[in-house]
Structure formats: C-alpha cells, structure tokens
C-alpha cells in the first residue's frame, strides 16, 4: 500500500503559505510511509520532539485496481471511494528542510501523520469534483473546502502519478488541502465531514 499526497493544490492555501496565488507547472507529489496511516478513529499521539504540528484537511480517494500510464479520460475507473483525511505536518521542521533544499518526508511522513476516515462509495457522491468537506475541532469549524477549487483534478493527478508509479488496489491519494491549516493540541477532538456526513472522528493525545 502506497500513500500519495499532493502539495500546493489550492490557490488560497498557496497564498497563505507562500504569499502569492500561483499554480505549479506540474502536480507536486510526495509520499508517506505506510506507518503514517492512522485509521479506525484511533487517537493521534502528538510527537513532542517535532515542534508545531498542523492539520491539513483533505479529500482522499482509494485506488481500486492496478494501473500504469493511465490516460486522464480513463482515470475514474481506477478509484471507487472517497473520504476525509488529515495530512499532519510538522510545520517548523518542514520550513527548515525546505530552506536547506531537502525533502519533506520527515515533516510529512512520520508515524500517524496520514489520518483516514470512513469510506463513502463513489455512487453516493454526485460529483467528485463538486464535493464539499470540512473539519471541526472541539465543535468549531476550522477548515473547509470544495474539490471544485483543486488546481489539479483527481483524474489529472492519477494520470500524472501513474506515469511514474504503478498504482495498486488499496493505494491512497491525498488530494491537497484548502487554506485554514492550524495547530493541534493534546485533548483536541477532530471531526471531519464529507458534505453533511461525518466520516472522521478522533482525539489528539
């Protein structure tokens, strides 16, 4: 099982992080270790040696069959479910790594950093590219977005990734986050919603 994630896929998030609205020339792809996956509503244990840990709320799609060099027009055949996930990021560490021109893996791929909610089958979604999602912390909405605002759409991302990696059943794709990221604290209660359906529910410890 591979975990793929997309960076800088929403204009407003790019502005919040980098100070300007821009679209990258190609999708920005990074991966997380399989030990990053956190599922079944288990608690997220905040690492105390990594500085500020921020949530990034994202739509996640599940790959359902083997594929390589997939044309974008056929990409929808290769995923079958969607949910809300959290791409936890050690923000200060990420900044240090970027300043040195080094990869992000330590700041993005650490244990428990890829939280995943309950899956919703695609036939229950009107349109993968017109889907709203949001995150509540302690009962207050802190981040919300719509997949219609993605710079690179799901099918485009799958076509792009499959030029470099063979996609396999069970692989996950985190599609990027909108603006509104922020830190988590011990005892925070996080709830993620796909449209009006709660699919994610866990605590930070």
Q: Where are the domains positioned within the chain? A: 3-204
The residue among 15 and 175 whose pLDDT is bigger is 175
pTM above 0.85, yes or no: yes
CATH topology of domain 3-204: Fumarylacetoacetate hydrolase; domain 2 (3.90.850)
Cite the DSSP H helix spans in 37-153.
91-99, 105-108
User: Residue 11 pLDDT > 80, yes or no?
Assistant: no
pLDDT at 19: 67
- Round to whole Å and give the CA distance between 61 and 56: 16
| DSSP-assigned beta bridge partners for residue 133 | 145, 194
pLDDT at 126: 87
Token pair, residue 124, equals 């229950």
Which tens digits make up the pLDDT trace of 94-121? 999 999 999 989 999 999 999 999 999 9
Token pair, residue 24, equals 């990258």
Which tens digits make up the pLDDT trace of 180-190? 999 999 999 99
pLDDT at 127: 94
- Round to whole Å and give the CA distance between 39 and 41: 5
Residue 93 CB-half CA count within 13 A: 19
- Select from 57, 58, 49 the least CA-distant residue to 92: 49
User: Residue 40 pLDDT > 60, yes or no?
Assistant: yes
User: Residue 66 pLDDT > 90, yes or no?
Assistant: yes
- The residue whose two tokens read 């949910």 is 83
User: Residue 134 pLDDT > 80, yes or no?
Assistant: yes
Dihedral pair phi/psi, residue 125, rounded to 5°: -110, 130
- Select from 146, 135, 151 the least CA-distant residue to 25: 151
């Amino acid at each position: 099982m591979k975990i793929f994630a997309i960076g800088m896929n929403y204009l407003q998030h790019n502005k919040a992080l980098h100070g300007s609205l821009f679209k990258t020339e190609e999708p920005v792809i990074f991966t997380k270790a399989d030990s990053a996956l956190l599922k079944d509503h288990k608690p997220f244990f905040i690492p105390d040696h990594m500085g500020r840990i921020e949530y990034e709320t994202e739509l996640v799609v599940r790959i359902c069959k083997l594929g390589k060099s997939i044309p974008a027009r056929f990409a929808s055949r290769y995923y079958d479910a969607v949910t809300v996930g959290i791409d936890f990021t050690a923000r200060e560490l990420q900044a240090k790594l970027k300043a040195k021109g080094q990869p992000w893996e330590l700041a993005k791929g650490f244990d428990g950093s890829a939280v995943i909610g309950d899956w919703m089958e695609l036939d229950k979604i009107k349109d993968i590219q017109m889907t709203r999602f949001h995150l509540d912390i302690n009962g207050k909405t802190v981040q919300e977005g719509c997949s219609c605002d993605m710079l690179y759409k799901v099918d485009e991302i799958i076509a792009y990734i499959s030029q470099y990696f063979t996609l396999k059943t069970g692989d996950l794709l985190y599609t990027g986050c909108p603006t509104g990221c922020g830190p988590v604290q011990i005892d925070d209660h996080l709830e993620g919603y796909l449209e009006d359906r709660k699919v994610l529910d866990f605590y930070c410890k």
